[in-house]
Amino acid sequence: MSTKKFAVIGHPIGHTMSPFIHKRLFELSGIDAEYGILDIAPEKLEYEYRNTLLKLDGYNITIPHKQAIIPFIDSIDEKAEMYGSVNTVANSEGKAKGYTTDPDGFLNALSAAGIVLGGRVVIVGCGGVARTMAYEVALKKLPLLFAVRQEDVSIAKALCDEIRNTVNGSEVSYCLIPELSGDINVLVNATPLGMYPHIENQPVSDAVIAKCENVFDAIYNPLETQLIKKAKANGANAESGMAMLVWQAVVAHEKWDGSTYDVADINKLCIASANELMSR
């Protein structure tokens, strides 16, 4: 059996964790595969697609190619079409199919951590990561509140309108971060506040954290942000963004070769990935 070939594409792409994570996943599944890095400038994408990417068994996609790749591939799945974004492509029997593993990566990370999406859900921030998470909440018919900065109110309003127009019956609203109060079943941080090197920052006050039953922080460097540490100290269930990063990769392998993994093995991989990141 020949060695399968995979890669991650983007531009620039020097510090990606993808090779470390995917190589470990191939080892866990016992599949003989290579995984490389391809830095492809936007103007070279079509050329590289025809001359390089079609020869791979599959590949992951990061900025700036998640939308640009769509016209070249043969088909995309329903979720990728809804989000207008592709981050994984499987080449099989001469056909290239695109997927987005971000939504399922988010949901699987929550599930593995024992966090159930329900009750009052608050997402801090309203950027691209927040949009993905928000749609998954809305699709579950749960009420959703965005907590945002004053300068992001117009973006939050537009995102709320978009979700209402896309997901029938969705209940979505926004408030300013200082106005956030009351009990919160699931708090999601989709901002960079607390990311290395500014690890002393946190997206919400201690008073808000104290009212949270579950916390998910999309940041994965450091593995435990101030938000995560304080949430755990209060007895909340809390998980970091490294879990989402790794579970996104797991979903990609499901699309490529149908591989399945034990939650315990993936939890170990999350810790190993965090240690690898800190060692760089």
Active-site residue set: 66
Torsion angle of alpha carbons 212, 213, 218, 222, nearest 10°?
Answer: 80
Residue 50: CB partners within 8 Å, gap ≥ 6?
Answer: none
- Half-sphere exposure (CA, 13 Å, Cβ side) for 260? 1
- Can you give the three-state secondary structure of 213-237, one letter per residue? EEEEECCCCCCCCHHHHHHHHCCCE
The tokens for 60 are 């992951």
Spatial separation of the C-alpha atoms in residues 234 and 280, rounded to whole Å: 32
Q: Backbone dihedral region of 34: left (phi > 0), alpha (psi from -120 to 50 degrees) or beta?
A: beta
